[in-house]
Structure 1
Amino acid sequence: MTKVAADYGVTGTALKKTCDRHHIPTPERGYWAKLEYGKRVKQAALPPLPEPNLALVRISGGTEQHLSPSVREAKEKARDRLTKHAAANPISVSKPDLPSNTAEPSCLAATRRAITKARPDHEGFASVRSKGVVPLRIAPASIERGISVLGQLFALAETQGHLPKATEDGLVLAVGNESVAFGMEEQPQKSLHQPTPQELKQRDERMRWGYTTDPWPKYDQSPSGRLAIVIHANPYSGLRRTYSDGQTQALESKLPDILAGFAGHAAFISERRREKEERDRRHRDAEAQRQREEAYDSREKRRTEFVDAVHEQLTNRDKLVAVLTHLENIAPEHVDRVSAMTTWIRLRLKQIDALISPDFLDISARSAKVDFIEPDPEKERERGGGYFGYSHPIKLDLWTVDIEKGVATSCSPLDWVNAARPQIEKDQAG
């Protein structure tokens, strides 16, 4: 059973329960030993299934099988180190009812003071949880042994370079760069509740009002003396979190396995942190890429709008040139009748030529913050890639340029026409 169970990643007990549910007979205790020495054994036949749905047996395996290789490797390496340390430095494990010969570390002084002052609840358990204190829930009779187990745990942890660390939530164990929180609990002993005469009277009164449930708990809980160390981390990781006294093995003898479990939890915390950092990095990169694309689209849109404005002026210019050509071909006797129109068209053409001249286009583009040169990718990545805030309107302006001062000042079409009209009329007269 043990060997087959290992192939499926479960315990022998779990496999036995699965077989019992599906009515599959299993070898009796001592079956293989009897068979090895030639003794008679009874091999049960596979009985017919009472229900068809029991024909399919599903065994998902232990949850630790689904852990990442790095976490399993960290746990196995820690277990190997602890095994080698135990072989090189044999330590006599104290019995649960005898004091330990390990000196109590100073970091447990606050825990001892706190649990000693704590008052037991109605079930007989004293609880404590505060800064720099190991969270405890144990009976007063188990305090000395509990402190002794914690002392042995910290002493063994120190040989592996793991040190206690006081935090706001309690005393944790620093394994590498990670802090693993834990506590100690005394597992309760359940016994069937015996109702008191007062509770029986209360039940009778409730029954008169139609209540059918009993006004008392089904079980009473009381201290059992069985202690457990519970790791308060990674509740859904699949790692074992509770190590308790067994029927044949005391908690003190499980300390190497417990510390190996701490190493696994620390590796799991580190792995989750790395995964989170990688997710955050990808998110930042995606956000930066989105901003760069958004900035690029914004640049392209404004460039297109600027080009559209130039194209509009070119279209107007072609229209005006066509009209001016027509007017210039008019018979001489009719020239005076269209001279004012001709003058206006030439003025508009000069105005358009000024608007789309290289100098004015360059000044208008810089004034509207329209850049036709792609920014440096590295600088854009550092900046975050975006244009934020107010966007200048896209338009072509007329400018008055002071070459000496290197200053360009926009002027209205009226001011520009009033300044340009005398020269146009002079050219036309000439």
Structure 2
Amino acid sequence: MPMFQPEIETLPRDRLRALQDERLRAIVAYVYDRVPFYRESFDEAGIRPANIRSVDDLTRLPFTRKEHLRDHYPFGLLAVPRERLARVHASSGTTGKPTVVSYTKHDLDVFAEVNARSLAAAGGEPGMVLHNAYGYGLFTGGLGLHFGGERLGMVVVPVSGGVTERQVTLIRDFQPDMIASTPSYAQTLAGEFEKRGIDPEEISLRFAILGAEPWTDTIREHVERGLGLTAVNIYGLSEVIGPGVSQECTEERAGSHIWEDHFLAEVVDPETGEPLPDGTVGELVFTTLTKEAMPVIRYRTGDLTYLTHEPCSCGRTHVRMGPIRGRTDDMLVIRGLNLYPTQIEEILQGIPDVVPHYQLVVTRDGALDEVEVKVEVTEALFREVGQDVLSSEVLEADQRLRTLRESIQRKIRNTIGLRLNVTLMAPGTVPRSEGGKLRRVLDLRQL
């Protein structure tokens, strides 16, 4: 399979390590000089840039966490003047404020480069047509794959997400070779083609590059069978750069190659922070080696996986990460967007007639994830309604309850960007803590 940058992607491990050592020394000195947060945290840890000579010294540096990004919202972690920025992206955060990430022209060049590598590893070649069904906007997915496709020399169709009927029409008319989307949306498209009686052999697509949410080989098989293609995983996160941090190759499809000349990866024990050996599941940690606008040092992603340095038949020498096994926090990824239970709690706190006892029930309806928000009404409202059970018939018959439910749904959508189903519950019917950790999320998906 052709590579976008074979000289880098197949770089011998000793030379790759020497490059990482050089870039790590440079980025540590860079953030110490330019970012007050890092200078203060390094000083507190008793570290000076001169103390960091190689990757072996990485564990001496303190971690960066998501709350540090929130605490310095929106531009407090910039290493360059704001006038030097070329673009700003953002993803949803835990407190209603988005996690803001910024890019210089150099950063956007790297962003396009690593996505071009990823598309090539996924089967893309110059001249192929890429149907890009990732969302465009503040979300990094759409533009990341878009410019990566153009850098590789592909013909990019910027469809964005949703409007399935239009997606199917454009796939049939434009005859694309590759699709980029979330795994669940690829399933939706496969189901739509099946409903229309279109055989997978009649679909032009040959490859799918899927990511932004957890998925399994069961989903892979469903997508491949339904669309008649080969599907591989792309991984990324906005705080590091966006999509294109790592990519599964079509040769082995056994872990995603992390582009180590730009992103230095570790896996640590989630409790102690101590490094873990290859093959042991722990929390994934990244240090950006080449970012200008907003570098991160030892950023704890919250994603649980493992690393392997075993040789890959594709010839790429960059370390591979396994599939994401879960998260260290309660974050859910629903249709490519982050959802935290604390976000729901904060929304409910500002709404009269409900109390902050709630539960999120996650299911899968066909190919798409659905979230039901069960929330209790107040005793006063319950007495006014005069019902022992808030049945669906009662909810539809009572104007006040309908209005309440609709206002909650609207506020959730306006705040988070997701349309969730809201069920009003009688007082005392939502589970409470019994001394242990309260289970706010009931995940019934069979992933």
TM-score (norm 1): 0.22
TM-score normalised by length of structure 2: 0.22
- Kindly name which structure, 1 or 2, has the bigger radius of gyration based on alpha carbons: 1
User: Which structure's residues are more often helix, by fraction?
Assistant: 1
